Amino acid sequence: MVEPFDPHAYAEMMAKALELPLHEANHDEVARNLALAFRLAPLFLEFPLHDEAEPAPVFNALEART
Amino acid sequence: MTDWTRQHGHLIAQAIRAGETTASAVIEAHLLAIARRNAELGAYTEVSTERARAKAAAVDAARARGEALPPLAGVPFAVKNLYDIAGIRTLAGSKINRDHAPARTDATLITRMEAAGAVLLGALNMGEYAYDFTGRNAHDGHSRNPHDRTRMTGGSSGGSGAAAAGGLAAITLGSDTNGSIRVPASLCGLFGLKPTYGSLSRARTFPFVASLDHLGPLARSVRDLALAYDAMSGPDSDDPVCRKDQPAPVVPQIATGLAGLRIGVADGYFQRMGTPEAFEAVDRLAKHLDAKVPVTLAEAHRARAAAFIITMVEGGALHIDRLRSRAGDFDLEVRDRLFAGAMLPGQFYVQAQKFRRWFQSETLKIFDHVDAFLAPATPSTAPLVDQATFTLDGQELPVRANLGIFTQPISFIGLPVVTVPLLATNGLPIGVQVIAAPGREEVALRIAASLEADGMTHCKIGQD
């Protein structure tokens, strides 16, 4: 069974991996924002799209500046 | 005697052209108003006095030589402090950027406004790194709403709202990633134009979310918005997102009335999570315009979520080095959202961008049936400056994250919007979004101009 998402543990792990200075003072607020993001993301993650669906920004090599 | 600080930009230019006043007199009146009122409004972070005086003198000299003056000759304007102004540090609302060298060249839009004769007065306060809907700033002080200084301006273009609504500039320029022009326009009682994504150059402005960043003007009349838009639009190779063609001028089209226009009203998502004042304002305009066609933006709640995640991820990625090295120098209300954004998985971002493409293709079908539609700009009138939460549909929610719930799904797919100001039933300003198809700024401006001509809008300078 998958454990429920723990934003505090996730924040600690990611802070370590990304060398971000997570302290007691900002730990709760970062975790709160992560929890919000993980609550919102399923709204579009669960929406069915084809594998071929193109992301909105498309790089155009022909329009690149010289 | 005319108080030029209360006058529309196009009428200032007209009076200068007619010799009824001089650009120098107009600029001195504005500099005096800034000296008197800026401390309490928190609008400007830097006033470019000498530059303004020199430009005004050049306009007056050109008139004295009998030259034809350009459309915005002598019109005072100011820019959010994320625009580069040569010789001034581009703060982007931050403490950290104070260590940057002064900008060497003006932002493209400043160059274009000046080419049209406008006179730059300085740089305006904003929420840190534009991650803000309130106009609050821990480093420079909060912007205050000229209509009630206990209330917020909205943000992140808070100084742009305070300056235009406080009579400290005729036209201000802001930026809008998720609503940062439209929210302060709504709360400060101004007309605001968030153009089509890619329609105005962002060259030499400090970025926030490259996928969603727009620039545009706020003003006290539709004609001023249109004049500024025409002055600034056109291709710019310095911004790879900027359009490649020169659009037709919008000024000649704004007074052509409503004939042939089909106007709808957004339903569903846009009829929930707001106060009665927000919905009454939309109803009032819809009734006047006889706009009866309901318009449904399918899955708008998912669009808002996707915009939220794209903002977090791109914002976090942009600032990750500063988060590592100078976390203590961020505004606390901004920093921890950036921290969280830097930690989100790539899947969230890619899927949000795929959903954006789907949402765009679905939403554009609306324009087979209508030319424009109305929606609230903000869920409420201006909250108090220190107000952290408000109640929407019985839920207590953070003000900071939710003032943009009605603007976010629209900028997500880059549609052009004019925010139209009304006086809400509680006596404070509130805006309604007039939303058009991509590249059809003139449609939204025509509708706004028609409402303005019919006396349906309310745009006054805040009390002294």
Q: What is the DSSP string of B222-239?
A: HHHHHHHHHHH-S--TTS
Q: Which residue has the tokens 């899947």?
A: B347
User: Best interface-test mutation with A: which of B236, B312, B339 has the largest number of A CBs within 10 A?
Assistant: B339
CB pairs under 8 A between A and B: 107
Q: Which residue has the tokens 């004042």?
A: B277
- Residue A65: inside a domain: no
Chain B hits for A18, CB-CB cut-off 8 Å, are 320, 342-343
| pLDDT tens profile B132-159 | 999 999 999 999 999 999 999 999 999 9
Among B31-35, B81-85, B459-463, the least confident range? B459-463
Q: Is B175 designated active site? A: no
Relative to beta strand B389-392, strand B293-295 is unpaired
Active-site annotation holder among B24, B143, B180, B211: B180
Average pLDDT over residues A2-12: 92
Angle (nearest 5°) at CA B79 between B172 and B384: 70
Average pLDDT over residues B181-195: 98
Task: Compute the distance between CA of residue B464 and CA of residue B453 in angstroms, rounded to an integer.
Answer: 26
- So where are chain B's domains? 7-305+344-453
What range does the domain containing A9 cover? Answer: 1-42
| pLDDT tens profile B328-364 | 999 998 999 999 999 999 999 999 999 999 999 999 9
CA of B403, closest CA in chain A: separation in Å?
16
Residue B300 predicted with pLDDT over 70 = yes
Residue A1 predicted with pLDDT over 80 = no
Please count the helices (runs of H) and the strands (runs of E) in chain B: 14, 15
| For B319, nearest residue in chain A (alpha carbons) | A20
Residue A8 predicted with pLDDT over 60 = yes
- Residue A37: inside a domain: yes
- ipTM score: 0.91
- pLDDT for A57: 79
- pLDDT for A63: 61
- pLDDT for B42: 98
Chain B hits for A45, CB-CB cut-off 8 Å, are 347-348, 351
Q: Note if the pTM is more than 0.95.
A: yes
Chain-chain contact of A44 with B352 (C-beta, under 8 angstroms): yes
Q: Say if A29 is an interface residue toward chain B (CB within 8 Å).
A: yes
Average pLDDT over residues B365-387: 98
Average pLDDT over residues B47-68: 98
pLDDT bucket at A66, cuts 50 / 70 / 90? very low
Residue A4 predicted with pLDDT over 90 = no
- pLDDT for A25: 86
| For B243, nearest residue in chain A (alpha carbons) | A63
| pLDDT tens profile B253-289 | 999 999 999 999 999 999 999 999 999 999 999 999 9
Percent of chain B with pLDDT over 70: 100
Percent of chain B with pLDDT over 90: 99
Q: Is B186 designated active site? A: no
DSSP for B244-278?
A: SSPPPPSGGGTTS-STT--EEEE-GGGGSSS-HHH
User: What single-letter DSSP state applies at residue B143?
Assistant: -
Chain B hits for A32, CB-CB cut-off 8 Å, are 336
DSSP for B395-451?
A: EEEEHHHHTTTTTHHHHTTT--EEEEEEE-TTSSEEEEEEEE-TT-HHHHHHHHHHH
Residues 6+ apart with CB under 8 A from B2: B15, B20, B21
- pLDDT for A2: 75
pLDDT bucket at B1, cuts 50 / 70 / 90? confident
- Residue A51: inside a domain: no
Residue A62 predicted with pLDDT over 80 = no
| For B361, nearest residue in chain A (alpha carbons) | A56
Chain A hits for B327, CB-CB cut-off 8 Å, are 20-21, 26
Chain A hits for B344, CB-CB cut-off 8 Å, are 34, 37, 41
B7-305+344-453 folds as Amidase signature (AS) enzymes (3.90.1300)
In this structure, what is the dihedral angle of CA atoms B319, B321, B324, B325, given to the nearest 10 degrees? Answer: -110
- Residue A48: inside a domain: no
| pLDDT tens profile B51-61 | 999 999 999 99
Average pLDDT over residues B20-31: 98
| For A34, nearest residue in chain B (alpha carbons) | B340
What total of structural domains would you count in chain A? 1
Q: Say if A40 is an interface residue toward chain B (CB within 8 Å).
A: yes
- pLDDT for A64: 52
CA of B176, closest CA in chain A: separation in Å?
18
